Structure 1
Amino acid sequence: MIHLQLLRKSSQTRSRKQLSQLFSTISQISSQPSKPPSFGIAFDIDGVVLRGNTPIGGASRALRRLYDGSGVLKVPFVFLTNGGGIRESKRAAELSELLGVKISPSQVLQGHSPFKQLVNRFENELIVAVGKGEPAVVMSEYGFKNVISIDEYALYFDNIDPLAPYKKWGTIDFAVERTRKCSINSKRVQAAFIVSDSVDWSRDIQVLCDTLRTGGLPASEEGPQPPLYFAHDDLKYQGAFPSERLGMGAFRIALESVFNSIHAEALKYTYFGKLNPVAFKNAEVVLKQQASFIYRELNIVNHANSGSHDFQTLYMIGDNPAVDIKGARQARNPWFPILTRTGVFKGDHHSNYPEFPANMVVDTVEEAVDFILRNEHQITD
């Protein structure tokens, strides 16, 4: 009899535990959002989360708040930067290591990322890629099949850079085969892409002027200018040095000034980057994809509608008023620009940038993320 009572008591205890677990599960499910996240975040990199290779402004702590306890992304975000010169996959790995969170390549939108849209036009054509890092590798990964870096291209034309003997820094040493040399220096370049900041302004301006004013073949007669594309047009940016550094926009001004001085027709070019609405549109598309993925992962899904929602707010966190803030303002709703004081902008605690004012000015990126999570009722301690 006693044994039977103990069995009944044990069974009742188990039932109560199971019922409690069921109510807990139901409670968790009901507390989960019934639709995709209504907001997303775009971070600039230089001057916002990094200075050189050093995290700033509590960036690591801020980004960790966008993941759950197991490291799964819960708030859609991207890095929207005009920087570049390396593949998005490599940049994502670097950011993951520096910031201590897992960043996927799809979350890295660089100045040259929109060049992918031009593959169909120039896929098999000879194109020249300019800039630091691995510009030709970047373009090859995008699908361009006949791309050459300006470092290598200059080697196929004897004496094209008259200052080369006086340059004492190390350069990439390419083995120039006679057959390939004959092929390259007799074939017209169909387009030039400024992928990242030029390392050798004097040589690059010389070679680009030679190429662009002759219809794509240095030392030949003048001809129609091949298309010229810049990844962005930033005049300055915040690097590791205390004051701002000259960016691709400064190189563009120098190239344009020289070209227009020696050629009858003005230089024609197209630039992308954050001032171009395309950059913000691409960011919105990627953020929507992330939001839909987060929604599906919660198993509360209507797959037919999960990718069709619109964001109520997209936050752009940047340090450069003339680029990050102006670009977000021009992109309009739903973009909400937030300006930090850790980079190009260094105003006091009561100032905004008068020409392109942000919706909010903060000291650090951590303060910006804290505001966003509170504003979106996403605070988790």
Structure 2
Amino acid sequence: MLSHASWSSFLRASSRRSLFFTPPSYLAANVATNTSPSLRRSFQTETTPPSYPEFAFAFDIDGVLLRSSDPLPRAHEALSYLQSQRIPFILLTNGGGKHELDRVSELSEKLSVPLDTSMFVQSHTPFADMDEYKGKTVMVAGGDEDRCRIVAEKYGFKNVVTPADILAAYPDIWPFSRQLLPYYKAFTRPLPAPIDPSSPSTSLKIDAVFVYSDPRDWGLDLQIIKDVLLSQQGIMGTLSPKNGDASLPNKGYQQDGQPPLYFSNPDLLWAAKYHLPRLGQGGFREALEGVWAALTGGEKGGVQLQKIVMGKPHQPTYEFAEKRLVAHRKKLLSQFDGSLGHLKRVYMVGDNPESDILGGNSYRSPLGTDWVSVLVQTGVYVDGTVPAHKPRKIVGGVYDAVSWAVQQEHWKS
């Protein structure tokens, strides 16, 4: 997990981000065309609802609102209804690979609902607040082309290197991707320093490794990350003399100033267009763990791969999401001002028992808010199977999840 200091700065920064309030004029138009007659009458005749909602929603995206890039049935209707009722929600995803502004713009268009970054948390959002690395040289892996590098630069990182940059400069470092060099050279950049182990003081040095999104070239990324983790102080081309030293913690591995390794999400599987779940970033991490164990002896030999894994189902991600949701709710329901009471429940709607449901079930809210896990059947979960982590409710799709939750709350629309 992240250090207390890193997460504290992350949570503080979240409160500084802009908040979003859906204009009533948009809602009136949206509801008039996209909701049932009874809901339209309710919205049009009541300028101020009789009471404010004491509940809210957190939605996963892939497998809940979208299947790959295609909206799932009634996803638009579900979100439009919540916006018409001023029921707060955020999108909480282990996906990534693009800047938050770009992703929110795409989602708004695909789902035909107005969204804002204040309502959106993706896997690598926490990286934006790691100021301690922004003046150093970091390696960013994953995503299409060099889009994750661009995201990192928008976050404020000054010196960003990718595995493809290293391959383009030194093709022998991973000879099995030589055929991809024409593709890589279209977006790679010159390295800020050469790889020269004979001159460590002037050689390329990596200060942190971030896996932003699912890697595309697993072999290349595994090789480069392995090299960095076995190096001396992150200096490319070197090999630490401490590796394998049984007198040191972790048998000397990652005990010689090597850079920290961050994964933005743990998902082994995710729901894509193909009818069966596909391997995600968690699959890449497992592959790296396997290579690491083969090289070092692994846990059986007393060696662990030291890394920081973020995203759902981990507690800090939910803490940040809850903080953002509370701030959004306060702005959305500002007409109640000082009378706005405590957020009692959040319905965590997801398709993946290992992330969405486990996270919702195990999260302990510092505010005392009850997180209710709701599993939909439109993504990773296969109907008829027993989920690894039992949700409070299993429903068909996202509209069913909203309908059930609203009934539970006795909300009068």
- Matched residue SS, 1:335: strand
Question: Percent of aligned positions with the same letter in both sequences?
Answer: 31
Q: Which TM-score applies when normalising by structure 2?
A: 0.76
Q: Does 1:334 align with 2:352?
A: no
- Matched residue SS, 1:159: helix
Query: Structure 1 residue 162: deviation in Å?
Result: 1.2
Query: Structure 1 residue 57: deviation in Å?
Result: 3.2
Residue equivalent to 2:259: 226
Residue equivalent to 1:136: 149
Query: Structure 1 residue 286: deviation in Å?
Result: 0.8
**CA, structure 1 residues 49+212, in 2 after alignment: closer, same or farther (shift >3 Å)?**
same
Q: Does 1:211 align with 2:228?
A: yes
Tell whether the 8 Å contact from 1:154 to 1:160 is kept in structure 2 after alignment. yes
Q: Does 1:86 align with 2:102?
A: no
Choose the corresponding residue for 2:110, options 93, 98, 101.
Answer: 98
Task: Give the whole-Å Cα distance in 2 for the aligned partners of 1:336 and 1:233.
Answer: 21
Task: Give the whole-Å Cα distance in 2 for the aligned partners of 1:31 and 1:100.
Answer: 24
Choose the corresponding residue for 1:159, options 163, 172, 191.
Answer: 172
Q: Does 1:284 align with 2:322?
A: yes
- Matched residue SS, 2:183: coil
- Matched residue SS, 2:333: helix
Residue equivalent to 1:371: 404
Q: Does 1:271 align with 2:309?
A: yes
Residue equivalent to 1:200: 217
Query: Structure 1 residue 347: deviation in Å?
Result: 1.9
Query: Structure 1 residue 311: deviation in Å?
Result: 1.4
Query: Structure 1 residue 169: deviation in Å?
Result: 7.9
**CA, structure 1 residues 31+267, in 2 after alignment: closer, same or farther (shift >3 Å)?**
closer
For residue 149 of structure 1, what is the amino acid of its counterpart? T
Q: Does 1:52 align with 2:68?
A: yes
Query: Structure 1 residue 360: deviation in Å?
Result: 0.6
Query: Structure 1 residue 337: deviation in Å?
Result: 0.3
For residue 266 of structure 1, what is the amino acid of its counterpart? Q
For residue 50 of structure 1, what is the amino acid of its counterpart? L
Tell whether the 8 Å contact from 2:263 to 2:307 is kept in structure 1 after alignment. yes
Residue equivalent to 1:123: 134
For residue 282 of structure 1, what is the amino acid of its counterpart? F
Q: CA RMSD in A?
A: 2.4
Tell whether the 8 Å contact from 2:203 to 2:236 is kept in structure 1 after alignment. no
- Matched residue SS, 1:317: strand
**CA, structure 1 residues 32+170, in 2 after alignment: closer, same or farther (shift >3 Å)?**
same
Residue equivalent to 1:311: 343
Deviates more, 1:214-223 or 1:125-134: 214-223
For residue 312 of structure 1, what is the amino acid of its counterpart? K
For residue 85 of structure 1, what is the amino acid of its counterpart? G
Tell whether the 8 Å contact from 2:227 to 2:237 is kept in structure 1 after alignment. yes
**CA, structure 1 residues 295+176, in 2 after alignment: closer, same or farther (shift >3 Å)?**
closer
Task: Give the whole-Å Cα distance in 2 for the aligned partners of 1:131 and 1:377.
Answer: 44
Residue equivalent to 2:42: none
Query: Structure 1 residue 369: deviation in Å?
Result: 0.8
Tell whether the 8 Å contact from 2:60 to 2:93 is kept in structure 1 after alignment. yes
**CA, structure 1 residues 48+30, in 2 after alignment: closer, same or farther (shift >3 Å)?**
closer
Tell whether the 8 Å contact from 1:81 to 1:111 is kept in structure 2 after alignment. yes
Task: Give the whole-Å Cα distance in 2 for the aligned partners of 1:29 and 1:99.
Answer: 26
Structure 1 residues 227-242: aligned runs within 5 Å:
227-242=260-275
Task: Give the whole-Å Cα distance in 2 for the aligned partners of 1:352 and 1:315.
Answer: 21
Residue equivalent to 2:83: 67
Query: Structure 1 residue 190: deviation in Å?
Result: 0.7
Task: Give the whole-Å Cα distance in 1 for the aligned partners of 2:184 and 2:100.
Answer: 24
Task: Give the whole-Å Cα distance in 2 for the aligned partners of 1:194 and 1:101.
Answer: 30
For residue 198 of structure 1, what is the amino acid of its counterpart? P
Choose the corresponding residue for 2:183, options 148, 155, 170.
Answer: 170
**CA, structure 1 residues 267+89, in 2 after alignment: closer, same or farther (shift >3 Å)?**
same
Residue equivalent to 1:18: none
Task: Give the whole-Å Cα distance in 2 for the aligned partners of 1:107 and 1:374.
Answer: 24
Tell whether the 8 Å contact from 1:352 to 1:358 is kept in structure 2 after alignment. no
**CA, structure 1 residues 343+110, in 2 after alignment: closer, same or farther (shift >3 Å)?**
same
Deviations 1:330-365 (A, max 9, x none): 1045100000111111223xx752x41110110010
Residue equivalent to 1:150: 163
Query: Structure 1 residue 153: deviation in Å?
Result: 3.5
- Matched residue SS, 1:192: strand
For residue 337 of structure 1, what is the amino acid of its counterpart? S
Residue equivalent to 1:261: 294
Structure 1 residues 107-122: aligned runs within 5 Å:
107-119=119-131, 121-122=132-133
Residue equivalent to 1:43: 59
**CA, structure 1 residues 221+310, in 2 after alignment: closer, same or farther (shift >3 Å)?**
same
Q: Does 1:186 align with 2:199?
A: no
Q: Does 1:251 align with 2:251?
A: no
Tell whether the 8 Å contact from 2:149 to 2:161 is kept in structure 1 after alignment. yes
- Matched residue SS, 1:336: strand
- Matched residue SS, 1:291: helix
Structure with greater Cα Rg? 1
Residue equivalent to 1:5: none
Residue equivalent to 1:11: none
| Gaps in structure 2 of 5+ consecutive residues | 1-44, 197-201, 241-255, 298-302
Deviations 1:122-178 (A, max 9, x none): 121110011113111222222222222332243333411111224488335246558
